Chains A and B, each alone.
Chain A
Amino acid sequence: MSVPAAEATPLDAPANLRELFFAFNRLSLQGFGGVLPVAQRELVERRRWLDKQQFIEMLAVSQVLPGPNVVNLALMFGDRCFGVRGAMTALAGMMLAPLVVVLALTALYGQYSHHPLVSGALRGMGAVAAGLVISTALKLLGTVRHNPMGRWLALAFAALTFVLIALLRWPLVWIVLGLGSLAMAVAWRSLGRSEGPPP
């Protein structure tokens, strides 16, 4: 398989904090309904600051960590370029402008919320928001196939979490600490069984 010329050329890097700030500012302002797809296009394809493999690895780590995935990705990338200052710069670039936009929308909405057209539009967008979250879950449902604890056990943990949170409204902290620890213990056992004892 031939390697395209673009793949072989060395990667670029942000020249300074200013460039880093505006790169994240730009990708964040393009992200309607999610920043991750835009981040991939900007960082990997347009600016060539990361190759695909590096991007996927960073994303994997940012998903393991608590906190918003794209925020963790920005922190990690900034940290890699300029240390803690870089991490803060990338985070600020990603958050500040969209924060102003969203709060301006909120303030406007407060004034017009009783207008039937505005509340109707928000109702429609709210239903779409629910649909977007549900479809994200459905797209990721396939990942249980690769779970070492086995597909059915993983689905059972997912279903139990859904019932406890959505129907019984238990506090999240107990579910992550209780059910989460149990799930991790099950995964630990399954990993040990499939790979033999750790060296």
Chain B
Amino acid sequence: MTGAELLGLFGHFLLLSLLAVGGAITTAPDMHRYMVTEQHWLTDAQFTSSIAIAQAAPGPNLLFVAVLGWNTAGPLGAFATTAGILLPSTVLSLWATRWGSQRRETRFVRSFTNGLTPLTLGLLLATGWILAEPYVRVAQYRWGALGLIAITVLVMVRTKASPMWLVALGALAGVLGLV
């Protein structure tokens, strides 16, 4: 990857940082559009497995951003994406916390939150769709993957079990060749 491309990667994540209302994962579809569809730096499977690795490891979900960067351009790529996603939101967050904590009940702040929450919901569903699509499209994996997704949703909505067990179940199902 050239220096200019690396800078482009950093710049794109700087922008996504400011758009990540509702968590870094809601920007995953746009990362996919940019890194897989547009630039061809990663394949569909590499993209999804990057997120799976980050889910399997402890720590904030946002670490998938570092894995995506690493798989695109090694350590420098990981630095570009992680610093990019953290820098603007950190500066803004520190500034806005001090500004906004006294204005939480104002009409401006409330329309901001209430306007963006429906978009966040749509973005989360879109992220789930984009993560599931590479498996569901391939006939060989389709039913196993749909089964795992259904079990995950059922367990998460109905019980208080830790996601850790589901991740382990997914790995086991994969090792046994069920997915």
Contacts and interface: CB of A to CB of B under 8 A. Distances in A.
Interface of A: 28-35, 57, 60-72, 75-76, 79, 84, 87, 91, 94-95, 97-99, 101-103, 105-107, 109-110, 113, 117, 119-141, 143-144, 147-149, 154-162, 165-166, 169, 171-173, 175-176, 179-181, 183-188, 190-192, 195, 198
28 contacts: A29-B58, A32-B57, A33-B61, A33-B162, A35-B61, A63-B22, A75-B93, A102-B66, A109-B53, A120-B174, A124-B172, A126-B135, A128-B169, A134-B125, A134-B153, A140-B124, A143-B117, A144-B118, A157-B119, A161-B119, A161-B122, A162-B125, A172-B27, A172-B123, A175-B119, A176-B21, A176-B116, A187-B115
Interface residues of B, number: 109
Given A124-B173, A131-B156, A28 B19 contact: no
A32 B100 contact: no
Contacts of B89: 65-68, 71-72
A61 B97 contact: yes
Contacts of B100: 61, 64-65
The list of the 5 closest CB pairs from A to B, nearest first, reads A98-B59, A67-B89, A131-B152, A33-B163, A161-B122
Interface of B: 15-25, 27, 29-30, 33, 37, 48-63, 66-67, 70-71, 75, 78, 82, 85-86, 88-90, 92-94, 96-98, 100-101, 104, 106-132, 134-135, 141, 144-145, 148-153, 156-157, 162-164, 166-167, 169-179
Given A35-B60, A76-B93, A137-B124, A68 B23 contact: yes
A65 B96 contact: yes
Contacts of A57: 104
A64 B112 contact: yes
A132 to B, nearest CB: 6
Contacts of A140: 120-121, 124
A104 to B, nearest CB: 9
